[in-house]
């Protein structure tokens, strides 16, 4: 019974994970799956000099299942929020998407708080989506 509940909580995409893995030496897939600190480690070390990056190719399904268990599904898509953050984060479109209009406007007029807020959002995006999903 609990297996059904876990599998229906499909919050993160394995396909997106593999696409981000292509940039895995930057830690992109690890940030997406909520692995903030190892994402930062991958970013600073080139995916542990490429070795961790290659190992993650095999571990990707496990990362996706862990993210699905960890984060709450709901109205807002984690994948959409991450795409908006990655490509339009300085404009705050990810914050508008999540219904965070005040901070969205602040990001829009300050370039994502001069880039610092945008960078911080890479550490907190999954939690922001989860808060929005639990609040809706």
Q: Report the percent of the chain where pLDDT is more than 70.
A: 93
pLDDT at 3: 40
- Using the Cα atoms of residue 98, residue 78, residue 124 and residue 65 in order, give the sign of their dihedral: positive
Q: What is the rounded average pLDDT for all residues in the chain?
A: 90
Residue spans per domain, the chain:
2-70, 78-135
Compute the residue count for the chain: 136
Q: Between helices 116-135 and 78-88, what is the axis angle to 10°?
A: 160
**Region 4-18: what's the mean pLDDT?**
76
pTM value?
A: 0.84
Q: Quick one: pLDDT band at residue 24, thresholds 50, 70, 90?
A: confident
pLDDT at 136: 59
**Confidence check: pLDDT of 57 > 50:** yes
pLDDT at 8: 57
Q: Report the percent of the chain where pLDDT is more than 90.
A: 79
pLDDT at 25: 77
The answer to whether the CB of 26 falls within 8 A of the CB of 41 is no
pLDDT at 131: 95
């Amino acid at each position: 019974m609990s297996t059904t509940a876990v599998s229906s909580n499909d919050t993160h995409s394995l396909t997106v994970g593999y696409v981000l893995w292509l940039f895995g030496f930057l830690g992109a897939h690890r940030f997406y799956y909520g692995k903030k600190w190892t994402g930062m480690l991958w970013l600073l070390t080139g995916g542990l000099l490429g070795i961790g990056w290659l190992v993650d190719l095999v571990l990707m399904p496990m990362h996706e299942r862990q993210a699905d268990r960890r984060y709450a599904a709901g109205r807002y898509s984690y994948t959409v929020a991450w795409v908006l953050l990655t490509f339009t984060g300085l404009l705050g479109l990810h914050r508008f998407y999540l219904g965070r209009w005040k901070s969205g406007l602040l990001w829009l007029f300050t370039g994502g708080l001069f880039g610092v807020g945008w960078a911080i959002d890479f550490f907190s995006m999954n939690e922001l989506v989860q808060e929005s999903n639990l609040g809706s």
